[in-house]
Amino acid sequence: MKTLKIAIQKSGRLNEKSVELLKNCGLSFENYKSSLISTVSNFPLEILFLRDDDIPEYVQDGIADIGLVGENVIAETGVDVAYLQRLGFGKCTLKIAVPNNNQYQNIADLSGKAIATSYPVILQKFLDKEKINADIKTISGSVEIAPGLGLADAIFDIVSTGGTLRSNGLKPFADVMSSEAILIGRKGIENEHLVLELLQRIQSVMRAKE
């Protein structure tokens, strides 16, 4: 392999930390908001700036060799990739939440209810595991307003501080998955010389932070 390609988020919650991590690895590159590809001048690496949802597939299909994305996105897209390194940032929890005045006692009380989410795959797996039959309403954003609008009885979404839940009259009900940013690679790429070299640099940056 002559040049390694890494996919990172173009803008959003993981972008800044991803760029910072690569810079801390001693990589020198331009980081214009307008560009989709940046070439590293002192390491054979190209950086592709993408929407986070697209990163798992780009890596699985070999358009990028490696990628940096939240575990939740990998789980939702169901791709078959190699986990190379957990990165310790972008931490969050995916939770089921219900309206404050709600009397549900346990998970089984979700049976027959409608749950709104942008993460139907992860939610379905959880419901299957718990043997609960619920109606998943897939919506692409602003999930937390669904109960107030009468679209759903509960929601399943990423929660960090809980502020968004509170301001929409919701309370956490069940934790389903915790997630952090992770470096993934195409299956079989783990032993490539350039991947090992970059991984070593990432690990020493992480050790220095401990």
Selected binder of ligand ATP within 52, 65, 144, 153 (CB under 6 A): 52
Q: Which residue is nearest to Zn ion (CB)?
A: 53
The Cα 61–Cα 64 span in angstroms is 8
Three-state SS string over 90-153 comes to CCEEEEEEEECCCCCCCHHHHCCCEEEECCHHHHHHHHHHCCCCCEEEECCCCHHHHHHHCCCC
Angle at 178 between CA 181 and CA 85, to 5 degrees: 35
Q: Which of residues 19-58 bind Zn ion (CB under 5 A)?
A: 52-53
Torsional sign, CA 62, 16, 83, 173: negative
Closest CA to 198 of 82, 25, 28, 46: 25
The Cα 134–Cα 157 span in angstroms is 16
Please report whether residue 45 would count as binding ligand ATP according to CB under 6 A.
Answer: no
The Cα 202–Cα 208 span in angstroms is 10
For the bound state, the minimum distance from the C-beta of residue 196 to ligand ATP, rounded and expressed in Å, comes to 26
Selected binder of ligand ATP within 5, 6, 9, 183 (CB under 6 A): 9
CA distances from 188 to 5, 108, 120 (A): 15, 41, 29
Pick the closer one to ligand ATP by CB: 53 or 130.
53
Pick the closer one to Zn ion by CB: 52 or 157.
52
Query: From the list Zn ion, ligand ATP, none, which binds 90 (C-beta under 5 to 8 Å, kind-based)?
Result: ligand ATP
Pick the closer one to ligand ATP by CB: 12 or 26.
12
CB neighbourhood size of 85 (10 A): 17
Report which residue type is found at 129.
K
For the bound state, the minimum distance from the C-beta of residue 115 to ligand ATP, rounded and expressed in Å, comes to 18
Query: From the list Zn ion, ligand ATP, none, which binds 201 (C-beta under 5 to 8 Å, kind-based)?
Result: none
For the bound state, the minimum distance from the C-beta of residue 93 to ligand ATP, rounded and expressed in Å, comes to 9
Q: Which of residues 58-77 bind ligand ATP (CB under 6 A)?
A: 70, 72-73
Pick the closer one to Zn ion by CB: 79 or 198.
79
Residues at the interface with ligand ATP (CB under 6 A): 9, 12-14, 51-53, 70, 72-73, 90, 92, 158, 160, 179
